[in-house]
Amino acid sequence: VIEMGQPERSVITTCAYCGVGCSFRAELKGDQVVRMVPDKNGQANHGHSCVKGRFAWGYATHPDRITKPMIRKHIDDPWQEVSWDEAVNYAASEFRRIQLKYGRDSIGGITSSRCTNEETYLVQKLVRAAFGNNNVDTCARVCHSPTGYGLKQTLGESAGTQSFDSVMQADVVLVIGANPSDAHPVFASQLKRRLRQGARLIVIDPRRIDLVDSPHARADFHLALRPGTNVAMLNALAHVIVTENLLNQPFIDARCESADFARWREFVSKPENSPEALGPICGVSPDDIRAAARLYATGGNAAIYYGLGVTEHSQGSTAVMGIANLAMVTGNIGREGVGVNPLRGQNNVQGSCDMGSFPHELPGYRHVSNDAVRHQFEHAWGVTLQPDPGLRIPNMFEAALDGTFRALYCQGEDIAQSDPNTQHVTAALSAMECVVVQDIFLNETAKFAHVFLPGSSFLEKDGTFTNAERRISRVRKVMDPLGGKADWEATIALANALGYRMDYKHPSEIMDEIARLTPTFTRVSYAELDRHGSLQWPCNDAAPDGTPTMHIEEFVRGKGRFMLTGYVPTEEKVNSRYPLLLTTGRILSQYNVGAQTRRTDNVAWHEEDRLEIHPTDAESRGIVEGDWVGVGSRAGQTVLRAKVSERVAPGVVYTTFHFPESGANVITTDNSDWATNCPEYKVTAVEVSRVYQP
Ligand code: SF4
């Protein structure tokens, strides 16, 4: 417990939890942080904050922090503390040995959405320039990769279209597959303010989330669809808009590809896409679907906000395209109060994607096969780059089990806990000859590591994060790295040990290089960020002050493109053995796998993950509140405590995934999005049975 007192100095920085990107004043006494105070000048939060950013920063100095590099030849050996030089030299020699034996493509790296833009940029540069391949991926693979794909196909840019403040101009808000009250609380407060002013609300979610009937705002419609049927629902909504002639024809004529629109119009007009046909599949009344579609299309400025409940499905990319189709057909894009707004989970999901962390894209979402772009980077980095995409994270696991992928550098990401089908992930990690984990704690993945490099928390480094509204904000160093190096310095040390020279003295120099090589960042620098407070990309000569709203005159791709979005049911089906559908989500006080928040006083608000089950399903299984229940799926089984709740419909169960003991990912399957391999976390067929009464 840190004793409060009068601060002696303060530093403005950015919260390292969710994609809202709140600005905070870290107040210090000596070299100890005593308070985090939301910054009233923060352009994403305007002085507001939630319990995570405000109170859950103590993990940074938790005794569990690992502050010394460690190595071990075999994962059964005890860890040996070594110097930084020894650790990075050992890692580098192992990487080179493995490449010599198994080939250039036998190693790869994973960047983290928890780290800064500068750090993720360096890791992908390390992989491309020093490893010599494109085997780099990011934890965005398992959350918003379908957003990148779907929005690029339809609108031409892999990013949300609006500022958070834009919601104050919305007349109708459609929230689908997101629970902002828990996952994006500061944005939720702003949304509720707008709802209190009279904006209308449509919620599409299997669970009765807080927004549906919170005291501040009631939804006009809650379409409680069956997990896995988002695309069917979006097609039914589009069907109503098209067949009832609620579309915005002038906008479509002026702004969209006419042949694609004609094809799509014919497709959604078919009777099989009507609410009467798809409503029963979704488990929602056709009348409610019709009424919600009319409200979205005719209620004035209509804005869509969505989250992982859209992306983490076998049709995640299709659903993102379905959302963009809805915005285009009603002309709800290209001005304040409308748009397509992915609510990014982690603080820097947007940034890690922007920085070229995907195996097929260089920074700025440019394909590695583009000769001109690749030559630009080759010239700047002094190497030859590969023109073929590398391995995605799930492909790395498969290749590890095949024996062709033998070593991994994993920065700030706990894949053994956060990726689906844990048994498969750990088998792949066990098969590798060298796993290098860089993290602040000895996480689950570190159990399979041969080298551990101490990571640095957001308080220990300079850099930038990019939030869900494309806002680049400064992260400022508050204290020295406990492990002696910030993450960007560790990557530089590893590159140099591999014989690839990196020579940055400060993260501002890395940002200057990013700006030189990325057309959407050309006017971004630390000096400009200090001058403006923050900047929303694109920020270049055409938009020197940044771009709060995108696609105003035309879409980034020129004309908007309607994409066909045929509904394909997930392969994850209920049957007599697994009759319930499990879906997952977050709770306000905790964050993702809980590595940070579990090490703060926030555990007082949420001590364990529980399984929400409807009273009828509980009763038929003899389950009462607080019982321990076994949850079994085709992938595995775990034990959770039951919470009997009408927030879920009969046939649906729900849990959070903040505690490793809950084993949520032991039961999730290998199914993934057809376009991006984003795991289908949100639909798992399970059976639930009482284990014993506590
Ligand atoms: Fe803001 Fe998100 Fe941090 Fe909460 S967790 S303070 S909403 S950035």
Coil, strand or helix: which one is 226? coil
Q: What is the pLDDT of residue 3?
A: 47
Q: Is 198 left (phi over 0), alpha (psi -120 to 50) or beta?
A: left
Q: Which atom of ligand 1 is nearest to 14's Cα?
A: 8
Model pLDDT, residue 141: 80
What integer pLDDT is reported at residue 2 of this predicted model? 43
State whether the beta carbon of 49 lies less than 6 angstroms from ligand 1: yes
Flag residues of the chain having pLDDT under 70.
1-5, 216, 589, 593-594, 602-606, 658-663, 692-694
- d(Cα 523, Cα 618) in Å, to the nearest integer? 57
pLDDT at 5: 61
pLDDT given at position 603 = 62
In this structure, how many other beta carbons lie within 10 angstroms of the beta carbon of residue 634?
Answer: 16
Contacts of 600 (CB under 8 A, 6+ apart): 55, 56, 57, 58, 59
Give the number of other Cβ atoms within 10 Å of residue 444's Cβ.
Answer: 20
The ligand 1 atom at the shortest distance from the C-alpha of residue 347 is 8
Joined tokens for residue 32: 């100890």
**pLDDT score at 8:** 86
The pLDDT score that the predictor gives to residue 602 is 66
Q: Ligand 1 in contact with 181 (CB < 6 A)?
A: no
Per the CB < 8 A criterion, the answer to whether 197 and 167 are in contact is: no
What pLDDT is attached to residue 251? 98
Question: Is the distance from the beta carbon of residue 351 to the nearest atom of ligand 1 less than 6 Å?
Answer: no
Cβ of residue 21 lying under 6 Å from some atom of ligand 1: yes
Predicted local confidence at residue 605, as pLDDT: 64
Question: How many angstroms separate the CA atoms of 184 and 164, rounded?
Answer: 11
Residue nearest to atom 3 of ligand 1 (CA): 53
Atom 6 of ligand 1, nearest CA residue: 53
Smallest Cα–Cα separation from 252: which of 260, 244, 110? 260
pLDDT of residue 1: 37
The Cα 354–Cα 362 span in angstroms is: 9
pTM above 0.90, yes or no: yes
- Say whether the peptide bond before residue 650 is cis (omega within 30 degrees of 0): no
15 lines ligand 1 (CB under 6 A): yes
Q: Is the CB of 588 under 6 A from ligand 1?
A: no
Cβ(20) to ligand 1 under 6 A? Answer: yes
Cα 22 to ligand 1 centre (Å): 5
Q: Is the CB of 22 under 6 A from ligand 1?
A: yes
CA 247 to chain centre: 32
